[in-house]
Chains A and B, each alone.
Chain A
Amino acid sequence: MITDSLLLNINNIKKKYTKGNYTKNALKGVSLEVFKGEVLALLGVNGAGKTTLSSIIASLHPATEGDILWQGTSIYTNLINYREIVSLCPQQPNFNDALTLEDNLKFAGRFFKMSETAINDRIAVLSKQFGLTEYLKQYSYVLSGGYLQRFMIARSLMHNPKLLILDEPTVGLDPHIRRELWNIIKNLKQEGITTILTTHYLDEAEYLADRVCILQNGQIKLIDKPENLKADFKKHNLEEVFLALMNEQV
C-alpha cells in the first residue's frame, strides 16, 4: 500500500549524452514522485531511459538538467547523507570477485562505517533471508545466476538503505528463479524499503509494483497503479496495456 509520505521529488530530469557529433537525449524532462514504502516499476523498451533514470536517482550519474529533492532539498547539496539511504543493485554484477561472498558483504558494511558487530549481525540476517549461508565462504563463481542475483540484492541491503534501486534484477533468469526473486522483493516492501524496479517484464511489474511508470523515448508516457491502467485501457493485464500504448504511438 502506498503511504502518503513523499520520499523523492524528481523534477524535470534531462540527460544528454554527447560523443563527437553524436548527441542522444536519453531523458527529456522526467518528473515524478516516489513515496515511502512503495514499489515503483520503471517500464519501457530497451533505450527508453529506465537505467539512465535509475542511475541518476542513485546519484551515480549527474543529470544534465533538473533536480531530485529529498527531504525538501536537492540530493546534490546533501549527497553524502543521501547516499547513506540509497542503494543501487545494477544489472551486471559489480562486486569484487576476488573476495569471498562474506568478505564482500563485510566490506559493504565497513564502507558505510558499520561496527563489526553490526556487520556480522546483518550478514547473519541477510544470508538467512536470501539462502546464502552455505555459500558465505565461497567465491562468486560457485553461484548460479539466481543465487548471484540474490547475493547482489543482499549486498545492496547491507547498510540498511531506505531506497533500493533494482535494475533489471531478473533478466535472463529461469521463470521459477524469477518467482523466487519476486517473493524476495515483495518481502522488502514489508520491511518498509522503498523500491524502484526497472524491468521490461510486464508480468513482473504487475506482480510487484504499487505503481508503474512507463517510459518511452526518455519521457514518461504514463504513471499510475496497475489496476487503474488496466481499468482505463479496459485490459486484463499490463502487457495488453503496454501493447495498446505502443499501438497508439504507431
Chain B
Amino acid sequence: MKLFDISIYKNIIAACITGIKKTLVDRIINIIIWSSCTMLVSSYILTAFGITESFGSFQLAGLVASASFFQAYENIINLVIDFSHHRKINSWLLLPTSSLTIFAAMVTFYAITGLILGLILIPLGKILLLGRFSLMSIHWFKFFGILILSNIFFGCLSLLVAAKTTMATLGNVWHRVIFPIWFLGGFQFSWLALQKAIPGASYIFLLNPLLLINEAMRGSILGPDGYLNYWVCCAIVIAVTFVIFRAAQRALKKRLDFVI
C-alpha cells in the first residue's frame, strides 16, 4: 500500500495556501503590532530601568520563534473546532493515501505560515531597532535552518495538542501548555543567564524545546557567543519533533478513528 502520495501532499498544501490568502494579511498585521510593541518597549523604554540597549535585538530573536509558536495556538484552536464539529479533515482522510500524507501536509502548511510570519520580523526589527540591530550579524544559513526546524516542530505540536484537546478543555490550552512553554522557554532570558541565576534548576529548563529553539535562533541572529551550541540544539529539536509527530499520529488515530 502506498503510504505517502506526493501529489496529494502537494495539493493539500496548495489548497491550504489558496485558502489562507484571505486571512494572511490580518495575521501579518497582528504579528507586526505585537512584535513592534515588544521591541519598542524592550529597546527604548526598559533601558530607563537599567536594561542594556541590546535587549531589543535579544527580544527580536525570541520574537521570531514566538511568532511561530503562537501560530501553533491558532492552529490548535482551528483543529479542535474542526474535530468537534464538521470534521473537514475527514474529507482528506478519505483520499486514496494514508494519514501520513495528510498529517505531513498539514505540518508543512503550518510550517510555511509560521515561517512567513517569522521572516517578516527581521526587516521589521531592523526598521524599529535601527543601529541597535545589525543584519550583518545574522548567519543566514543557520537562521533559515532553525526557522524551518522550529516551524516543523510547532506544526507537529499543534497536531498533538489538538488531538488531546476537546472543546471543553480548549480554554486550558493557553494556560497549561502554550504560556508555560513560552514563558519558561527563554523569551526573556538566555540559558547561560538562567544557569547563573539558578544553576541546579537550569538543566530542567533544557527539557523545554522552545528554550533550545530560542538559543539556536539567537545564536544564528546575534552570534554564537553566550548561547548553547547551535548544532546540538538543532539535533535535539529534530529528535523531539520526530517523537512529537509519532505521538500526534497515535493520538489522532485514537481521536479521529480513521482506517490508515
Which residues of A come within 8 Å of B, CB atoms?
58-62, 76, 79-81, 83-84, 86-88, 90, 92-96, 98-99, 103, 107, 110-113
Q: Is the CB of A79 within 8 A of B1?
A: yes
B96's partner among A58, A76, A80, A93 (CB-CB below 8 A) is A80
B87 CB → nearest A CB, Å: 6
B9 CB → nearest A CB, Å: 10
Q: With A59-B94, A61-B257, A99-B18 as given contacts, are A111 and B1 in contact (CB-CB < 8 Å)?
A: no
Which residues of B come within 8 Å of A, CB atoms?
1-2, 7-8, 11-12, 14-16, 18-20, 22-23, 85-88, 90-91, 93-97, 257-260
B83 CB → nearest A CB, Å: 12
15 sample A-B contacts, Cβ–Cβ < 8 Å, listed by A number = A58-B94, A60-B93, A61-B257, A61-B258, A80-B97, A86-B94, A88-B90, A93-B86, A94-B88, A96-B15, A96-B19, A98-B23, A99-B18, A103-B15, A113-B7
A111 to B22, CA, bound (A): 22
A111 to B9, CA, bound (A): 9
Q: With A59-B94, A99-B19 as given contacts, are A76 and B259 in contact (CB-CB < 8 Å)?
A: yes
Residues of B within 8 A of A113 (CB): 7
A111 to B92, CA, bound (A): 9
Q: Is the CB of B96 within 8 A of A98?
A: no
Residues of A within 8 A of B88 (CB): 94-96
Question: Closest residue to A107 on the B side, CB-wise?
Answer: B15
Question: Closest residue to A82 on the B side, CB-wise?
Answer: B96
A60 to B22, CA, bound (A): 30
A62 CB → nearest B CB, Å: 5
Q: Is the CB of B260 within 8 A of A107?
A: no
Residues of B within 8 A of A62 (CB): 257-259
Given A83-B95, A92-B86, A98-B22, 13 more contacts at CB 8 Å?
Answer: A58-B94, A59-B94, A60-B90, A61-B258, A79-B96, A80-B96, A88-B90, A90-B90, A94-B87, A94-B88, A96-B16, A110-B11, A111-B95
Residues of B within 8 A of A83 (CB): 94-96
A146 CB → nearest B CB, Å: 18
Q: Is the CB of A60 within 8 A of B94?
A: yes
B100 CB → nearest A CB, Å: 13
B75 CB → nearest A CB, Å: 14
A199 CB → nearest B CB, Å: 20
Q: Is the CB of B94 within 8 A of A88?
A: yes
Q: List the 4 shortest-distance A-B pairs measured between CB atoms, nearest first.
A: A98-B19, A83-B96, A80-B96, A107-B15
Q: Is the CB of A107 within 8 A of B95?
A: no
A79's partner among B8, B19, B86, B259 (CB-CB below 8 A) is B259
Q: Is the CB of B90 within 8 A of A99?
A: no
A94's partner among B16, B91, B97 (CB-CB below 8 A) is B91
B99 CB → nearest A CB, Å: 11
Residues of A within 8 A of B259 (CB): 59-62, 76, 79
Residues of A within 8 A of B85 (CB): 92
A58 to B91, CA, bound (A): 11
B101 CB → nearest A CB, Å: 10
A113 to B5, CA, bound (A): 11
Residues of A within 8 A of B12 (CB): 111
Residues of B within 8 A of A111 (CB): 8, 11-12, 95
Residues of A within 8 A of B11 (CB): 107, 110-111
Q: Is the CB of A92 within 8 A of B94?
A: no
Q: Is the CB of B96 within 8 A of A103?
A: no
Residues of B within 8 A of A103 (CB): 15, 18
A84 to B138, CA, bound (A): 49
A99 to B20, CA, bound (A): 9
Question: Closest residue to B8 on the A side, CB-wise?
Answer: A111
Residues of A within 8 A of B87 (CB): 90, 92, 94
Q: Is the CB of B86 within 8 A of A80?
A: no
B15's partner among A58, A60, A99, A112 (CB-CB below 8 A) is A99
Residues of A within 8 A of B86 (CB): 92-94
Residues of A within 8 A of B8 (CB): 111
A24 to B93, CA, bound (A): 24
A164 CB → nearest B CB, Å: 12
Question: Closest residue to B86 on the A side, CB-wise?
Answer: A92
A87 to B91, CA, bound (A): 9
Q: Is the CB of B96 within 8 A of A84?
A: yes
Q: With A59-B259, A83-B96, A107-B15 as given contacts, are A95 and B91 in contact (CB-CB < 8 Å)?
A: yes
Residues of B within 8 A of A86 (CB): 94
